[in-house]
Amino acid sequence: MTGTPQLVVHRDPELMARAAAARLLTRIVDAQATNGSASVVLTGGRNGNALLAALADAPARDAIDWSRLDLWWGDERFLPEGHPERNHTQARQALLDAVPLDPARVRAMPASDGPYGPDPEAAAAAYATALAGAAMAGGSQSHGPVPSFDVLLLGVGPDTHVASLFPELPAVRETERTVVGVHGAPKPPPTRITLTLPAIRAAQEVWLLAAGADKARAVALALAGAGEVQIPAAGARGTRRTLWLLDRAAADRLPHTLYHPPTA
């Protein structure tokens, strides 16, 4: 199944966000019923935050046992704690502050004014250590140096970046480390922390979110078999499932034979 990505195309970004939220809610509840807990890697950006806001508004949101949910992040802008551009800050505003999470299970990436100071490499190494510890504690649910996340969410940028893995930059070439610092990102802020492709590919399910005409070219390139160094989104896949959640505008350059059923 991992060799063939699945595509779901929705009418517009709002419907896509609501449907993705419902899908995520169901996946979390199922994982908790099977394993006792669930783990999700969050993404920032407009589509990731829209999904979280839709989940906050979902009538069935309390079907999730929020105290048994582990949250991680795929990347973070290396800015001070509470900065409005941090993915963690935006996730709190969209959802996290409204639900009864266990604070010990919300694993935000370190901030630039945190215990590792303004050193993204030290912060990245600390996050990698936390991931490795969780993987070891997870037993059969782990996958090497990172947990076997139930769902890992990724927004797809117009330049095909996912997390903070930008085309041709060193981070997208990483094959051993699970978390790295990023310098000189073409999208501000230039300094970031990100999971690498090896860490992303440990997840059971990887969901890629893209909505809007500005994402159409990136989606088409990523699904055309391009190389991951040039097209990072092409390298994102799960061990069990790779799911692309799109709106019509983002799917505009794809052959309609790639997705079924047709758009609603």
3-state secondary structure (DSSP) of residue 40:
strand
List pLDDT tens digits, range 167-212: 999 999 999 999 999 999 999 999 999 999 999 999 999 999 999 9
- Whether 245 is in a domain gets the answer yes
* CA–CA distances in Å: residue 7 to residues 28, 47, 211: 20, 16, 13
Would you place residue 257 in the very low, low, confident or very high pLDDT band (cuts 50, 70, 90)?
confident
- Whether 237 is in a domain gets the answer yes
List pLDDT tens digits, range 138-168: 754 555 899 999 999 999 999 999 999 999 9
Give the number of domains in the chain: 1
- Whether 201 is in a domain gets the answer yes
Structure tokens at 206: 């990887």
b/e per residue, 215-245, with b = 16+ CB within 10 A?
bbebbbbbbeebebeebbbbbbbbbebbbbb
List pLDDT tens digits, range 204-226: 999 999 999 999 999 999 999 89
- Whether 105 is in a domain gets the answer yes
- Whether 263 is in a domain gets the answer no
Q: For residue 212, what pLDDT is reported?
A: 97
Residue 80's domain spans which residues? 6-258
- What is the average per-residue pLDDT within 243-256? 95
Q: Is the pLDDT of residue 19 over 60?
A: yes
- What is the average per-residue pLDDT within 35-46? 97
CA 123/CA 192 separation, integer angstroms: 10
Q: Are 192 and 75 in contact (CB under 8 A)?
A: yes
- Whether 213 is in a domain gets the answer yes
Task: Write down the pTM of the prediction.
Answer: 0.95
Structure tokens at 254: 């794809």
- Whether 264 is in a domain gets the answer no
Q: For residue 261, what pLDDT is reported?
A: 47
Instruction: Please state, rounded to an integer, the average pLDDT across all residues of the chain.
Output: 94
List all residues 6 or more positions away from 109 whose beta carbon is below 8 Å from its beta carbon.
Answer: 73, 75, 76, 87, 88, 123, 127, 193
Degrees (nearest 5) of the Cα angle 253, 256, 261? 130
- Whether 130 is in a domain gets the answer yes
- What is the average per-residue pLDDT within 225-230? 94
Instruction: Tell me which of 132 and 260 has the higher pLDDT.
Output: 132
DSSP of 194-208: EE-HHHHTTSSEEEE
DSSP of 60-123: TGGGS-GGGEEEEESEEE---TT-TTSHHHHHHHHTGGGS---GGGB-PPPPTTSTTTT-HHHH
CATH number for the domain including 234? 3.40.50.1360
Beta-bridged to residue 160, according to DSSP, are none
